[in-house]
Amino acid sequence: MEQYQLVPEAIVTLQECQGSDCESVTTTIDTSAIAQSPSATDGGSDEGGAAEAGTPTTAVAPDGTDADQAELAAICTFDESVPKVSCQAVGATQGSQLRWESNVYGWQTGTSYEVELVEQSQLVSEVAVTLQECQGSACKTVYSTIDTSAIAQTPDEASSSSSGNVSEQQHIPPGEVGCVERDDLSFSHHAVDLDAISGISPNMVVSGNWLKPNNYVFLSQDTSLFAPAASTSVGLLTWQMTYSDDSGAPQIKVQYSVQLQLSCSVSFRFEHVEELAEPFASLTTPLEETEANLDNRQSTELGNWLFYEMGVPAGTIVGFARVANLSGASDEVDLVVKNADRVNQFANQDRYLVQGDLGNLLHTDCPFDFYPSDMRSQWLDLFGIDGVSTANYDCDLTPDVRGTIAGGWFQSPHDPNNAKTLIDWGMAVRINSNGTLDVGHPEGIVRVDPTDPTFRDPKSVSDAHCFHDTEKDLFGYLEPIGDLEMRAAFGSGSCPAEMPSNTQSFYR
């Protein structure tokens, strides 16, 4: 018998289903005769000290979890001597995809999860672990929290701060632990001053050679940024954006990201905020206290965020975006919505369920769909770039079409036994909001004007086809092979008569 099974009471759930009609009964069994003593299950302190090395915690499921979801659990222990957190999945269905995440580390897959706490950002008083199990598009999530206060930094070391009724900073996303559920998730306030918007590219967007869950909102003037709905917690991040100016010289500029938790499942995020409003400006980490190289990719790591439990009414100004955000590189602010209850579909769903940060695409949602129809129409009228828009353009949360070139591609086949933290994106193919076709690949972007003879809707391209970027005089020759593979060649000049020999292979 395992250590985590030595509990004073066992709970057994039996569920009977006929079609979709299910009934559940639960019984409890007294197992106190084999239960661990209090000294073996807590830190020996009436005030909730740290768990001793190897002490298991109890998995905590979110409020409202049904009997079926309660079968899954994440059993975690903390070994203070290393120090490390180790977790094991129990109750998982054979053949399902298991994906882990925590506030101290990124994604891992498989039946277990282990993280050594060695970085400064990992020395927190409580580790929050999320375990998601998916079978196809059906997913369920459970949570576990582990007391690691024995290794936590002191307030002076962590530069902790608080303001008014705001809780002390923490690295635990409130949307995963201690969240507040809401029935009505409608947005009641425009997140950006509409008069300041010159165009919008709704998600999913092509960024280089990969797909992003972001919505690009291009600006013609500076604007305040507003909470679109009431939220119960705030996440703040200070980071440095690396980019090239008009002359190609490398530049670094401080950026802020603000996340508003609207419910247990839905969060709203601003990215590329130039300046924070109060009280948020006083709560965020000063630049000099961030890691020296906290760059674009590191900014996605949860351990670099600070979260505060605080009520934020709809319409609250959280910060400011500038039209000269990254001079010569960008004039935008990004909007991102994550909806844990939404599972988007891709050509190779298994890859998105288990590999790296692809979960950001898996659970992204369209922010404009949360507005009532009249307000949504106002956003819809702004879709496009520099005043040029295409008819019926909208969020596309199913960008892949099997057997065609449309959507996301990778440089190596999916290996479920070797899921990577960093994704080897190869290509991203989608029509932009001004009607142009973007074919992003490892060496650049082939951008095809809708008036060009080589232009085609990528969702209709199921055979070999060459695209020509007349502005840069570049070509991209693409040929899908079956449902999950494609070969492609890129080069300068007009389209060749046939596929060149120097092709690259890409995979779903």
- Please report, rounded to a whole number, the percentage of residues in the chain having pLDDT higher than 90: 56
175-189, 305-319, 414-428, 454-468: range with lowest mean pLDDT: 175-189
Please check whether residue 501 lies inside any domain of the structure. Answer: no
| Residue 305 predicted with pLDDT over 90 | no
| Residue 6 predicted with pLDDT over 70 | no
Supply the pLDDT for residue 490: 98
Q: Reduce the DSSP state of residue 418 to 3 states and report it.
A: helix
pTM here is 0.70
| Residue 40 predicted with pLDDT over 90 | no
Supply the pLDDT for residue 51: 36
Mean pLDDT of the chain: 82
Distance CA 386, CA 216 (A): 13
* Number of compact structural domains in the chain: 2
- Please report, rounded to a whole number, the percentage of residues in the chain having pLDDT higher than 70: 76
Please check whether residue 373 lies inside any domain of the structure. Answer: yes
Confidence class for position 394, pLDDT limits 50, 70, 90? very high
Please check whether residue 488 lies inside any domain of the structure. Answer: no
Within this chain, do residues 176 and 311 fall inside the same structural domain, yes or no?
Answer: yes
Most confident of 302-316, 349-363, 463-477: 463-477
Supply the pLDDT for residue 295: 52
Supply the pLDDT for residue 33: 58
30 Cβ contact partners less than 8 Å away, ≥ 6 residues apart: 8, 9
Please check whether residue 467 lies inside any domain of the structure. Answer: no
Within this chain, do residues 237 and 350 fall inside the same structural domain, yes or no?
Answer: yes
Please check whether residue 137 lies inside any domain of the structure. Answer: yes
Question: Is-contact 16 23, C-beta < 8 A?
Answer: yes
Within this chain, do residues 369 and 387 fall inside the same structural domain, yes or no?
Answer: yes
User: Which of 445, 240, 220 has its CA nearest to residue 332?
Assistant: 220
Question: pLDDT tens-digit profile of 100-130?
Answer: 888 777 678 899 999 999 877 678 788 888 8
Rounded to the nearest 10°, the torsion over CA 179, 181, 182, 186 is: 50
Confidence class for position 73, pLDDT limits 50, 70, 90? very high
Within this chain, do residues 369 and 256 fall inside the same structural domain, yes or no?
Answer: yes
Supply the pLDDT for residue 68: 45
Within this chain, do residues 174 and 275 fall inside the same structural domain, yes or no?
Answer: yes
Number of helices and strands in the chain (H, E)? 7, 32
Please check whether residue 247 lies inside any domain of the structure. Answer: yes
- Choose one of 370, 392, 414: the last residue of a domain: 392
| Residue 483 predicted with pLDDT over 90 | yes
Within this chain, do residues 69 and 29 fall inside the same structural domain, yes or no?
Answer: yes
Within this chain, do residues 150 and 195 fall inside the same structural domain, yes or no?
Answer: no
- Choose one of 158, 192, 217: the last residue of a domain: 158
Within this chain, do residues 217 and 359 fall inside the same structural domain, yes or no?
Answer: yes
Question: Is-contact 13 67, C-beta < 8 A?
Answer: yes
Distance CA 114, CA 102 (A): 10
Please check whether residue 369 lies inside any domain of the structure. Answer: yes
Please check whether residue 469 lies inside any domain of the structure. Answer: no
Between 296 and 72, where is the model more confident? 72
* CA 230 to chain centroid: 21
Supply the pLDDT for residue 95: 87
- Quick one: average pLDDT of 415-425? 80
- Choose one of 134, 158, 182: the last residue of a domain: 158
Supply the pLDDT for residue 172: 53
Between 100 and 17, where is the model more confident? 100
Question: pLDDT tens-digit profile of 131-156?
Answer: 988 887 788 888 888 999 899 865 34
**122, two tokens:** 């990992």
Distance CA 313, CA 334 (A): 21
DSSP string over 131-153:
EEEEETTEEEEEEEEEE-GGGPP
Distance CA 1, CA 281 (A): 52
Within this chain, do residues 153 and 168 fall inside the same structural domain, yes or no?
Answer: no
Distance CA 151, CA 221 (A): 47
289: CATH: 2.70.70.10
Distance CA 199, CA 186 (A): 23
| Segments forming the whole domain that contains residue 222 | 159-392
Distance CA 175, CA 265 (A): 7
Within this chain, do residues 148 and 179 fall inside the same structural domain, yes or no?
Answer: no
Within this chain, do residues 86 and 203 fall inside the same structural domain, yes or no?
Answer: no
Supply the pLDDT for residue 167: 46
Within this chain, do residues 96 and 227 fall inside the same structural domain, yes or no?
Answer: no
Distance CA 48, CA 38 (A): 12
Distance between terminal CA atoms of the chain? 42
Between 379 and 324, where is the model more confident? 379
Supply the pLDDT for residue 136: 78
Supply the pLDDT for residue 80: 94
